[in-house]
Chain A
Amino acid sequence: MRRIPKRSRVTVVAVAAVTAALALVASGCGGGGGGGGGSTSASSGTTTTIGKGEGSLNVIEWPYYTYKSFAGPFEKQTGCIIHRKDAGTSQEMFALMHANGGGGGGQYDLVSASGDASLRLIDAGDVQPIDINQIPSWKEFLPVFKSPPHNTVDGKHYGVSVQWGPNTLIYNTQNVSPAPTGWDAIYGSKYKGKLTVPNNAIQIADAALYLMQTKPSLGIKDPYELTKDQLTAATQLLISQKPLLKRYWNYAADEIASFKNGDVSMGAGWPYQTLQLQGDKQPVKEIVPLPTTGWADTWMLAAKAPHPNCAMKWMQYVTTPKVEAQQAIVFGETPVNPLACPYMNKIQKGSCAAYHLNEPASYYNKIKFWKTPVPQCGWTTKQTCMDYNAWVQAWAQVTG
């Protein structure tokens, strides 16, 4: 479905050949190889053990993604001490991974990339495939997160899904009444000057998704795979939305501040912002109008990871049901492992249902998860879709 640059395909083949040869020599030893990070072909099916931890694990993360409350036991068990570099945006994450020659620069092991950055990281060669069979919990995942197109390319897993969440419509219950029912609330003029949306080119997908409902004649099949005309239509919608907005928010904290300051009454955001605001006793609620866009995050292994064993151990640990539940409650997001449900309810009553972990499969089909736009559309063989650079330029047209 997606093109892998020729050179890297050759490299992958070469690495596979070398790995196979080594495996013959030292069968059973498995894993632990320097840059390979114990990764063999995903199709091998055998469960290999991961070598001894290197004592250190350097991650680029969304804040709280290796929070002490659930990462502490991991550090004790494995001796892998976590060093964190927090990123505020997908843009920052990509830049950090791509710096110093790319692949994490030989400094970083893991990155908790969202879907709007993960394909870019794969295409840029900054991350490497892993043997998914070494992550036992992976078999328990919701089907939609086992091999999602934003982290699995040509059957190769460039990391493991960890958590997800929908993009939500947050509103101030005192200033907005009646409560909004759908995304049309942020395209209508009723709350002109009191609205906010993220300052991110991927926001174009939200407009495209809205157009899928309201203007079927455009023929949009996938909000992340837009032809030139479809991209123009989405851009036009966003330009017409602009006079209604107070601001475009850059960081989650910015949106929280705008709600608190009374500058904004309604906006697109994540459950994280809602939880933070509600924690501060703000009169704020959110709805998840379906269909909606959403994000799904992947722990990805850096191509030049200096501590691949610790990285693999972390991916094993963080996807287990109990830890999934802990992280979900800390950050305000949803596990990819449904076995986390009872643990969530134990921490916070009714949280499994509140975070939609008990929904049927049809629910997940209504959430269009972020993925990086590429020229190759999935629904046609022609390379007629607009790539990410075109989206960034279109976004500049909107905000500029």
Chain B
Amino acid sequence: MAADAGVIETGPPIRRARLRLSGFFWRRPWLRAVGLLALPLAVFLVVYVGSLGVLFISSLWTSNSFTSTIEHTWTFANYRTIFSRAGPYLHIAGFTLEMAAVVTLTCAVLAFPLAFFMARLAGKRTRALFFVMVLLPLWSSYLVRLYAWQTILAHNGAINWALNGLGLPDQNLAYTNIAMWIVYTYVWLPFMVLPIYAALERIPDSYLEASADLGARGWRTFRSVILPLALPGVVAGSIFTFALTLGDYITPALIGGTNSDMIGTIVYQNFSTNLPFAAAFAVIPMAIMGAYLLIARRLGAFEAL
């Protein structure tokens, strides 16, 4: 403190002022944090939290079926409609959850060996090649990839062409939930590979050597050392695949069949004429994601991001 004061007293005026300022902030770390975070935090609060708040509030209003204008009377009617057993909405929410879970699981099963190879076995060039291959689909539009899948899965598309070539019968894959499962798994796979790769890459070689020194074979090392350390990566990836599936409405429209409505479909159908109901239904995946993130934090997913 005394030494500080000495420096400030002796320098030229501008330098002195600057040092005094930095000293001022150094002594008050909280103020430093405020200075850094003020703008991003304001944006975060207004744009993110604010709009989520508005979403939730408007879900408690109703819409005039004539004019589609919002009527500001407080009611749980929208939620009652969603949770009524007679209506289709619980089933749709359940189906969406199911699809998200199955897609996440499939992505994890496919991504893990791929990420393992990239992180621990591949050489530098092979690894770069794999990175490009994993990320390549993201270079083209999501919509283009969906339409490409439409033609691949179609009755006279590539899959049936290949099956017929092998002497196998046609499969009715187009416009089914299985088609949606395949396409979701394809489009979200990169979002699972990358976090798992990051988690696996961080495991020090010395751990594996230590495991071997203690007499563990490959399988035992994998189960007791690699898997627990990679799990946060898997959970982090699952946050992406789960959330992305939960909110999507385009794949059900273009790839799905007659039983493929998801939460996003209903939100899309209602947002222009019955905004409060759409808002109420949009709250459901948020609540699900909230619960999911709490569990994910328990599993240490955020350390792997």
Interface residues of A, Cβ cutoff 8 Å to B? 3, 5, 91, 94-95, 98, 120, 123-125, 193, 199, 201, 242-243, 245-248, 250, 254, 257-258, 261-263, 374-375, 387-390, 392-393, 395-397, 399-400
Answer yes or no: B30 CB below 8 A from chain A CBs.
no
Q: Would you give the shortest CB distance from A393 to chain B, in whole angstroms?
A: 7
B269 interface residue (CB < 8 Å to A): yes
**Contact code string B127-171 (vs A, CB < 8 Å = 1, else 0):** 000000000000000000000001100111100000000000000
Contact A91 B66, beta carbon cutoff 8 Å = no
C-alpha spacing A91/B269, complex, angstroms: 8
Contact present for A262 and B155 (CB under 8 Å): yes
Known: A261-B156, A388-B65. A396 touches B272 (CB 8 A): no
B269–A392 CB distance below 8 A: yes
CA distance in complex: A95, B271 (Å):
8
Known: A95-B271, A263-B155. A393 touches B66 (CB 8 A): no
Beyond contacts A375-B66, A392-B269, A396-B269: 15 other A-B pairs, Cβ-Cβ < 8 A, are A91-B269, A98-B68, A123-B66, A123-B68, A125-B67, A193-B172, A250-B254, A261-B155, A261-B157, A263-B174, A374-B66, A387-B66, A389-B273, A396-B92, A400-B261
Q: List 25 A-B contacts (CB under 8 A).
A: A5-B66, A94-B68, A95-B271, A95-B272, A124-B69, A199-B253, A243-B258, A246-B174, A246-B175, A247-B175, A247-B257, A261-B150, A262-B156, A263-B175, A393-B81, A396-B88, A396-B89, A396-B269, A397-B87, A399-B265, A400-B88, A400-B89, A400-B259, A400-B261, A400-B266
- Please, how many angstroms separate the alpha-carbon atoms of A98 and B271 in the complex? 11
CB distance from A243 to the nearest CB of B (A): 8
B67 CB contact (under 8 Å) in A123, A375, A397: A123
Chain B residues near A399 (CB, 8 Å)?
Answer: 258, 261, 265
Residues of chain A with a CB closer than 8 A to B221's CB:
none
Q: Nearest 3 pairs between A and B by C-beta?
A: A261-B154, A400-B88, A95-B272
Chain A residues within an 8 Å CB radius of B92: 396, 400
B interface secondary structure, majority: loop
Report A9 CB to chain B, min CB distance, Å: 13
Q: For A5, what are the chain B residues with a Cβ–Cβ distance below 8 Å?
A: 66-67
A195 to B37 alpha-carbon distance, docked (Å): 57
Q: Complex: how many Å from CA A131 to CA B274?
A: 32
Task: Give the one of B69, B95, B151, B272 with max A CB within 10 A.
Answer: B272
Contact of B258 among A245, A388, A392, A397 (CB under 8 A): A245
Whether B20 is near chain A, meaning CB under 8 Å from some CB there, is: no
Closest Cβ–Cβ distance, residue B175 to chain A (whole Å): 4
Residues on the B chain within 8 Å of A389, using CB = 63, 65, 273-274, 277
How many Å lie between the Cα of A245 and that of B172 in the bound state? 12
Q: Which of B65-86 contact A (CB under 8 A)?
A: 65-69, 81
Q: Are A247's CB and B269's CB within 8 A?
A: no
Query: Which A residues touch B88, using CB under 8 A?
Result: 396-397, 400
- B189 shortest CB reach to chain A, Å: 25
How far does the alpha carbon of A393 sit from the alpha carbon of B207 in the complex, in Å? 57
Beta-carbon contact of A261 and B151 below 8 Å: yes
| Structural contact, A247 and B81, CB atoms closer than 8 A | no
User: Number of residues in B with C-beta < 8 Å to the partner?
Assistant: 39
A201 and B261 alpha carbons, distance in the complex (Å): 14
Using CB atoms, name the residue of chain B closest to A99: B272
Chain B residue, CB-CB nearest to A247:
B175
Q: Does B211 contact A (CB under 8 A)?
A: no
- Give complex CA distance A299, B154 in Å: 37
Distance (Å) between the CB of B59 and the closest chain A CB?
Answer: 15
Tell me, in angstroms, the Cα distance from A168 to B215 when the chains sit together: 74
- Closest Cβ–Cβ distance, residue A257 to chain B (whole Å): 6
Q: How far is the CA of A123 from the CA of B65 in the complex (A)?
A: 9
Name the residue in A242, A245, A396, A397 with the highest tally of chain B Cβ atoms < 10 Å from its Cβ. A396
The interface residues of chain B lying within 8 Å CB-to-CB of A396 are 87-89, 92, 261, 266, 269
A91-B257 contact given A246-B175, A387-B66, CB 8 Å threshold: no
Q: Mark B283-294, 1 if CB is under 8 A from A, else 0.
A: 000000000000
Nearest CB in chain B to that of A400: its residue: B88
Q: Which of B31-55 contact A (CB under 8 A)?
A: none
* Cα–Cα distance between A250 and B69 once the two chains are bound (Å): 26
Distance from B68 Cβ to chain A, minimum over Cβ atoms (Å): 5
Are A124 and B67 in touch, CB under 8 angstroms?
yes
- Does B270 have its Cβ within 8 Å of any Cβ on chain A? yes
B277 to chain A, nearest CB (A): 8
- In angstroms, Cα B89 to Cα A293, docked, is 29
Chain B nearest CB, measured from A204 CB (Å):
13
- Residue B256 lies at the interface, judged by CB distance under 8 Å to chain A: yes
Contacting residues, chain A, for B256 (C-beta < 8 A): 247
Residues of B within 8 A of A94 (CB): 68, 272-273
Interface residue ranges of B197-245 to A (CB < 8 Å): none
Q: Find chain B residues with CB under 8 A from A125 CB.
A: 67
Chain A nearest Cβ from B29, distance in angstroms: 44
